[in-house]
Amino acid sequence: MPKAKQHYWSPQLHLEINQNENKGSIIYGLFGPNPTVWTMFMFFHFIVAGLFIGCGIWTYVNWSLGNSYALQLFFALFMIVIWLALYFGGRLGKKTGMTQMHELHHFMRDTLRTNGIHTED
């Protein structure tokens, strides 16, 4: 994608070319998010999961000691809400980048065809 058209959710296309036995090549393509975006989302997911486990332990300890555990339970449930927000935010970002993914695919296919390379979609 040209820099002017790139946005936060722009996908990337990784191509791998493997030689075939009959002196040809096979091209494999993998669409994915920008590695920075992927790393950030994974970091947030791990933080939320760690906080959820910590709040769950804290809730259990207070429950087993007979203390009030409403605040701890609220935080544990709030981590689930944050995780759902991250999940649906990622899905929304994936949908936002879908048109650029199709543009990348068509660019790759057209480039290969103009160079006389047969493609199977």
Structural domain includes residue 78: yes
What is the number of structural domains in the chain? 1
- The tokens describing 90, both together, are 């990622």
CB half-sphere exposure, 116, CA atoms < 13 A = 1
Spatial separation of the C-alpha atoms in residues 60 and 35, rounded to whole Å:
37
Where in the sequence is the domain holding 52, given as residue range(s)?
34-114
Structural domain includes residue 71: yes
Structural domain includes residue 14: no
Model pTM score: 0.71
Which residue stretches of the chain have pLDDT < 70? 116-121
pLDDT score of 109: 84
49-68 tens-digit pLDDT? 999 999 999 999 999 999 99
